[in-house]
Amino acid sequence: MPRILAASVFSANSGESAAFFRSSRMLILLLIISGICSGLRSGCFAMANTILVKRLRQSLYASLVFQDISFFDMETVGSLTSRLGSDCQRLSHVIGNDIHLIIRNAIQGTGALINLLTLSWPLTLPTLVICSVLAIIFSIYVWYQKRAAKLMQEFNACANNVAQETLSLMRIVRAYGTEGEEVERYKRWLDELAFVSIRESAAYGLWSTSFLTLYRFTQVLAVLLGGICIMNSQLSPEQLTKYILYCEWLIYATWRVVDNSSSLLQSIGACEKVFHVMDLLPTDQFLSKGVKLQRLMGNIQFVNVSFHYPSRISVPILDRLNLAIQANEVVAIVGLSGSGKSTVVNLLLRLYQPVSGQIYMDGLPLDELDIRWLREKIGFVGQEPDLFNMDIKSNIKYGCPREVKDEDIEWAAKQAHAHEFISSLPHGYQTIVDNDLLSGGQKQRIAIARAILRDPAILVLDEATSALDAESEHHLKGVFHGLRNESRSKRTIILIAHRLSTIKTADRIVVMDKGRIVEMGDHTELLHKGGLYSQLIGAQAESMA
């Protein structure tokens, strides 16, 4: 285009109308072609970018979901959602804008350089020197910008985590009157973010100043050197005009390449954590295929099992634990907080691996069984039965390995004494669950119905009745024992409870303290021993008096 523009101007100046109109028609044709190609190119790159970001977020989410539980012990929810949200969004213009414009301007700059060398290579050398200086300044700026971008994303993730935590626990914040402290905690991360952002903006200002100064210097230098060449009859005015226009194109293309490269590298620097997480391999549980038994009986054995959590290596939780649970037996595990009761369940579900020792299921080591198959055979209700933000029907049948009918769902809800309150809701089983809709006891009953619907060979209840009233708890105790003794489906039931009234009728009560079993027997035997179990019963009776 610069060559044709110069030819048009000088043909008009010399009165060559045929050459002028020929050049004008060529310019118009080039403009039309350029506009169409630019639009098509931008649209195609934008669509490619949309596909890229979709795949990126999908791959990152899949990588997160299949990580080991210990990974989530060390990462905060706010940080992970920030990776999925703002960090991935940071890459939303990489293909649609940055790479697209880098390629376009690199080609344009190469074309301008070739034309400059064709016109006069001695005049081109100063321009190349200036471009080299710009590249050196840019490399220093990018090094700093990449570090700043990484820090900004980290601080932004921390701020998001504070906001998510505060908003999700707003009732606690309001009850304790700590609104000011929470605002201050959020402000501290914003201050850190602003400090890095301001310094990065200052660095960008220095880079822009350097570029604009050298850009104007190139224009002046082109005119001075070109003027000298014209006075020495080494260059014609038309060639000088072409030279100045191509210099403009080269410097402009260089600036665009540098600017978009800066944006690209900033995005990559900010998203290093995203790529790191995506490179993590899934937990070994999902990589290896284990054994599937024809039928799970429910015989469980812990042999010299020791364990500590990966995030707390110095704090032992279980110490050479030995425990055997027979099929179709109701076993209750009790003890003080921190004695290792819930950890036994976590190991049984293979959420964690023992540090030493072995767990057997029907005589086979637990880690040799197919983990997906095993979890289909276990019904689990945790201490805090969080429900998903979907309708109650979907929550009850969530994770059920078989096809279920509405009648099955209602049967499970009736068994858990949840059918009555569900039916009284505005939309019944189609009611969408949210935090304000249901009480803690109602959530627990829905979670219990979910476990019952699975028809599990092993039923694990970790403080599953802690939020129930006395009447509902009484009914559910009968339900659990009825499920165990049902002739068509025998079950092993493991109860963990602080409310000791729940476990009095268990076949066997295991009392734990500091990661070890200190007592074992039925309710009557343990009371007569006068040990830790008797003390727990007495302390609970005093607290209820």
Q: What is the pLDDT of residues 46-75, one digit of tens each?
A: 788 888 888 888 888 888 888 888 788 777
Q: Is residue 96 part of a domain?
A: yes
DSSP-based three-state secondary structure for 372 = helix
Q: Are 200 and 145 in contact (CB under 8 A)?
A: yes
Residue 352, φ and ψ in degrees, nearest 5: -135, 160
Least confident of 226-240, 264-278, 470-484: 470-484
**Three-state secondary structure readout of 157-208:** HHHHHHHHHHHHCHHHHHHHCCHHHHHHHHHHHHHHHHHHHHHHHHHHHHHH
Q: Is residue 492 part of a domain?
A: no
The pLDDT, as a whole number, for residue 305 is: 93
Full-model pTM: 0.67
d(CA 100, CA 41): 8
* Residue 541 clears pLDDT 70, i.e. is over it: no
* Residue 446 clears pLDDT 80, i.e. is over it: yes
Question: What is the residue whose two structure tokens read 């935090």?
Answer: 435
* Residue 29 clears pLDDT 70, i.e. is over it: yes
DSSP3 helix / strand / coil % (the chain, rounded to 5): 65, 10, 25
Which CA distances in Å does 269 have to 142, 274, 404, 530?
10, 10, 48, 63
The pLDDT, as a whole number, for residue 325 is: 92
Region 511-522: mean pLDDT is 89
How many domains does the structure of the chain reveal?
A: 1
d(CA 160, CA 178): 18
Q: Which two tokens stand for residue 505?
A: 């009728």
Q: Which CATH number fits the domain that encloses residue 213?
A: 1.20.1560.10
d(CA 497, CA 337): 10
Instruction: Report which of residues 441 and 333 the model is more confident about.
Output: 333
d(CA 4, CA 10): 10
d(CA 133, CA 242): 24
What tens digit of pLDDT does each residue of 144-195 get? 877 887 788 788 878 888 888 888 778 778 777 888 888 998 999 999 999 9
Q: Is residue 284 part of a domain?
A: no
* Residue 45 clears pLDDT 50, i.e. is over it: yes
d(CA 289, CA 374): 12
Nearest to 102 by CA among 133, 63, 138: 138
Q: Is residue 30 part of a domain?
A: no
Least confident of 106-120, 469-483, 499-513: 469-483
What tens digit of pLDDT does each residue of 357-402 get? 999 999 899 888 888 888 888 888 887 777 888 889 998 988 888 8
Residue 464, φ and ψ in degrees, nearest 5: -75, -10
d(CA 11, CA 335): 99
For residue 132, the enclosing domain spans: 50-279
* Residue 525 clears pLDDT 50, i.e. is over it: yes
Long-range pairs for 212-219: beta carbons < 8 A, 24 or more residues apart: 214/130, 214/133, 214/134, 215/251, 215/255, 217/130, 218/126, 218/127, 218/130, 218/247, 218/251, 219/244, 219/247, 219/248
